[in-house]
Amino acid sequence: MSELAQRGVEFFLSALPAPWMVAVLAPVFLIYGVLAAWFAGWLRIGRGIKTSYTRKIFHFSIFTAAGLVQITWGLPAVSLFGGIVASLVLYAVWRGDDFPFYEAMARESDRPKRSLFILVPLVTTAIGGLASNLFFPQFAFVGYLVCGWGDALGEPVGARWGRHDYRVPSIGGVPAHRTLEGSAAVCIGGAIAAATGLALFGLPLTVAVAVGIGCGVFGAAVEAVSTHGLDNLTIQIAASAAAFVLLG
């Protein structure tokens, strides 16, 4: 077996949850995921909140939890959590139109490929998380948090207060744009998230804040030029890499 293949096998095995995690944590993760999905669906259907908000509320709740799980129990627990959440998302896509959780995630602006722009971010989120853990394992949680907080703020801020649009590449020919106001929110939210996570990780507050700002700025810059649907991948890797470089 080549060295690269051996490293891949070792990484795969290191990501598998221990039996006690499956027995103890899986029910907790399932309950959390179901409640987060129900809440997003209730906001969308029961309260008429726009998808640009409900989608990111769910996004925020999942990425924040993933960051805390990574800090507490490491990659195996995140793999378990991610698998459970992915199953809930896939179930919603299977149910399709009019299912509350699906409607909470599926943007009208993404028609006629609403499901595509749920599935692509789902896959890119998983790839981004795995890549961050492979290359920057100590700081993968920074990528989760910057993506979870920054990207979650960017879309609703842009939808509510965005005045300066710019076009971005998109998958499947669906027109896509972002705003400078939304990108600024990504930067601020990402910086706060990274600083918070690094402080919880044990860094001195001044160091956590300084590095957090760098991670937020770099994450926002990468998000601003990322293809629509792929930013969950690029932000995670960019923020984790920024933490690695600044603290290396």
pLDDT given for residue 174 in this prediction: 67
Domain boundaries, the chain: 3-247
**pLDDT tens digit sequence for 45-94:** 999 999 989 999 999 999 999 999 999 999 999 999 999 999 999 999 99
User: How far are the Cα atoms of 30, 131, 133, 139 from residue 126, in angstroms, in the given order?
Assistant: 18, 9, 11, 16
pLDDT given for residue 4 in this prediction: 66
Dist. CA 99–CA 83, nearest whole Å? 21
Q: Is 148 helix (H, G, I), strand (E, B) or coil?
A: helix
- Comparing 110 with 64, the larger pLDDT belongs to 64
Whole-prediction pTM: 0.90
pLDDT given for residue 42 in this prediction: 98
- Comparing 173 with 239, the larger pLDDT belongs to 239
